[in-house]
Chains A and B, each alone.
Chain A
Amino acid sequence: MANWIPLWLHKLSSPPTFYRFAGTLQPWATALALLTGAIALYGGLVLAPADYQQGDAYRIIFIHVPSAWMSMFIYGVMGLASFIALVWRIKLAEVVAMESAPIGAAFTFITLVTGSLWGRPMWGTWWTWDARLTSELVLLFLFLGVIGLYHAFEDRRQGARAAAFLALIGIINVPIVHFSVNWWNTLHQGSTVKVFGPSKMSGDMLWPLLLMMLATKLYYIASLFRRVRTDLLAMENGKDWVRKIAESEADR
């Protein structure tokens, strides 16, 4: 282990320590995700006014856009964890990368279907092969490819390494999804919310959107921790600490 990695980080990446750490944080992340999500959806569905052009159909934005952001964010996390897994062979990084894939696939699927449901009344079509939509579909296939490759190997760690390699190559698609609306002529609208400079959106609509983004981030943390904990149990199932957990949960 390189000595510039702080000791606490090294300790945290040990499976029993991370199992306990994730177990403590996970319920809080779930509770906060539900709370912020409920407030955001109340703001978005009830308090925010209808759009002057799109009427109430625009309200799909409060799940479509946060899901789209999450699909790219989770791919980024998966790519980073894959890189760490391939270079340093840290077990926890492998698990984080592999367990991010199903959550990312879920958000990408939500993005595509809600986008389709939004496109039908606004564009007059469920689907069009334009840059934004196609690159997001490729993102879904990349997530599914990572999941498939991971499970195609008898040896889990070998599968994780192969899938991590695919995840790393596929990261090239993330900037393509993000900039597709600028690079190509597309039916999809450009970004309304900007990190740098003022957003082109009224405050009544903006705060539920940003709060929903926070809720989906928290949901991702909760779901990832739940999945990683389960995977660590499976991976270490001969070890003493897992045996103790199995025995203590038999009484319940």
Chain B
Amino acid sequence: MSALHDFLAMGGYAAYVWPAYALFFVVLVADAIAPRARRKRLLRELRARLARQEARQEKHRAPPSSP
């Protein structure tokens, strides 16, 4: 228990060491997540556009309602 306590205390420099490590991880995790979110949005938009195109083509192919 005291070994863990000593480790976390960082010889009195905990207030500098741990924020530095926290920042390192927060920034890199944000960097890793951003493109994933962008990719999902991009593919969703592309699918929506394809669906719209499909619908438009269906309408053109359908015979005119009145002769």
Taking A223-B32, A226-B36 as contacts, is the C-beta distance between A247 and B16 under 8 angstroms? no
Q: B16, B24, B43 — which one has the most chain A CB atoms within 10 A of its CB?
A: B24
Stretch at the interface among A84-92, A160-168, A202-210, A227-235: A227-235
Q: Which of B19, B20, B31, B42 contacts A237 (CB 8 A)?
A: B42
Query: Is B43 in contact with A233, judged by CB distance below 8 angstroms?
Result: yes
Interface set, chain B 20-46, CB cutoff 8 A to A: 20-21, 23-24, 27-28, 30-32, 34-36, 38-39, 42-43, 46
**Majority DSSP secondary structure for residues of B touching A:** helix
Closest to B13 in A: A57
Chain B residues contacting A247 (CB-CB under 8 Å) are 47, 50
Chain A residues contacting B64 (CB-CB under 8 Å) are none
Give chain B's interface residues, CB within 8 Å of chain A. 7, 10-13, 16-17, 19-21, 23-24, 27-28, 30-32, 34-36, 38-39, 42-43, 46-47, 50
Give chain A's interface residues, CB within 8 Å of chain B. 45-46, 50, 55-57, 59-60, 63-64, 67, 102-103, 106, 109-110, 113-114, 117-118, 120-121, 219, 222-223, 226-227, 229-230, 233-234, 237, 242-243, 245-247, 249-250
Q: Would you mind naming 28 contact pairs between A and B with Cβ atoms under 8 Å apart?
A: A45-B7, A55-B13, A56-B12, A57-B11, A59-B13, A60-B20, A63-B21, A102-B31, A102-B34, A106-B27, A106-B28, A109-B27, A110-B23, A110-B27, A113-B20, A223-B32, A226-B36, A227-B35, A230-B38, A233-B39, A233-B43, A233-B46, A237-B46, A242-B46, A243-B46, A246-B46, A246-B50, A250-B47
